[in-house]
Amino acid sequence: MHQLIDDYLNFLAVEKGASRNTLEGYSRDLNRYAAFIDGLKIRDIRQIGAEELISYLSRLKSGGLAANSMNRALAALRGFYKYLLREKKLESTPVAHIELARVWTHLPDVLSREEMSLLLTQPGSATPAAVRDAAMLELIYATGIRVSELTGLTLNSINWQVGYLIAMGKGEKERIVPLGRTAYDQVKRYIEVARPLMLKSRQCDILFLNRLGKGMTRQGFWKIVKKYAAKAKLAKKVHPHTFRHSFATHLLEGGADLRSVQIMLGHADISTTQIYTHVTRERLKEVHRKYHPRG
**Could you tell me if residue 104 is inside a domain?**
no
Q: What's the pLDDT at 104? A: 44
Residue 90 has φ and ψ, to the nearest 5°, of: -135, 155
The 10 Å CB-count burial string (b at 16+, else e) for 171-207 is eeeebebebbeebbebbebbbeebbeebeeeeeeebb
Q: What's the pLDDT at 209? A: 96
**Could you tell me if residue 99 is inside a domain?**
no
Q: How far apart are CA 55 and CA 81, in angstroms?
A: 17
Do residues 187 and 243 both lie within one domain? Answer: yes
Q: What's the pLDDT at 99? A: 60
Residue 215 has φ and ψ, to the nearest 5°, of: -60, 135
- Torsion angle (degrees, nearest 10) of CA 195, 227, 184, 206: 40
Give the dihedral sign, CA 168/149/283/252. negative
DSSP 47: G
Q: What's the pLDDT at 103? A: 45
What is the tally of structural domains in the chain? Answer: 2
Do residues 81 and 144 both lie within one domain? Answer: no
Could you list the active site residues? Answer: 146, 170, 241, 244, 267, 276
Length of the chain in terms of residues written? 295
For the chain, strand residue ranges (E) read 158-159, 164-168, 174-178
Helix then strand count (H, E) for the chain reads 14, 3
Q: Assign residue 150 the CATH number of its domain.
A: 1.10.443.10
Annotate 199-249 with DSSP letters as a single string.
HTT----BSSB-TTSSBPPHHHHHHHHHHHHHHHT-SS---HHHHHHHHHH
Domain span including residue 192: 113-290
Residue 213 has φ and ψ, to the nearest 5°, of: 80, 15
Is pTM beyond 0.75 here? no
Would you give per-residue pLDDT tens digits along the chain (295 residues)? Answer: 899 999 999 999 998 888 888 899 999 999 999 999 998 888 888 888 877 887 888 788 777 777 778 888 888 999 999 999 999 988 888 887 666 554 444 566 789 999 999 999 999 999 999 999 999 999 999 999 999 999 999 999 999 999 999 998 876 788 999 998 999 999 999 999 999 999 987 889 999 999 999 999 999 999 999 999 999 999 888 999 899 999 999 999 888 889 999 999 988 778 778 778 877 777 777 777 877 667 6
Q: What's the pLDDT at 107? A: 60
Residue 92 CB coordination number (10 Å): 10
Q: Are 189 and 149 in contact (CB under 8 A)?
A: no
Residue 153 has φ and ψ, to the nearest 5°, of: -65, 140
Contacts of range 168-175, beta carbons closer than 8 Å, 24 or more positions apart: 169/266, 170/19, 170/21, 170/22, 170/266, 171/16, 171/17, 171/18, 171/19, 171/22, 172/17, 172/19, 173/266, 175/263, 175/264, 175/266
Phi-psi region for residue 47, left (φ > 0), alpha (ψ -120 to 50) or beta?
A: alpha
Q: Assign residue 48 the CATH number of its domain.
A: 1.10.150.130
Which distant-in-sequence residues (6+ apart) come within 8 Å of 46 by Cβ?
Answer: 90
Do residues 175 and 246 both lie within one domain? Answer: yes
Do residues 207 and 270 both lie within one domain? Answer: yes
**Could you tell me if residue 92 is inside a domain?**
no
Three-state SS at 281: helix
**Could you tell me if residue 295 is inside a domain?**
no
Amino acid at 226: K
Do residues 66 and 138 both lie within one domain? Answer: no
Do residues 61 and 144 both lie within one domain? Answer: no
Q: What's the pLDDT at 217? A: 93
Annotate 79-112 with DSSP letters as a single string.
HHHHHHHHTTS-SS-TTTTPPPPP---PPPP---
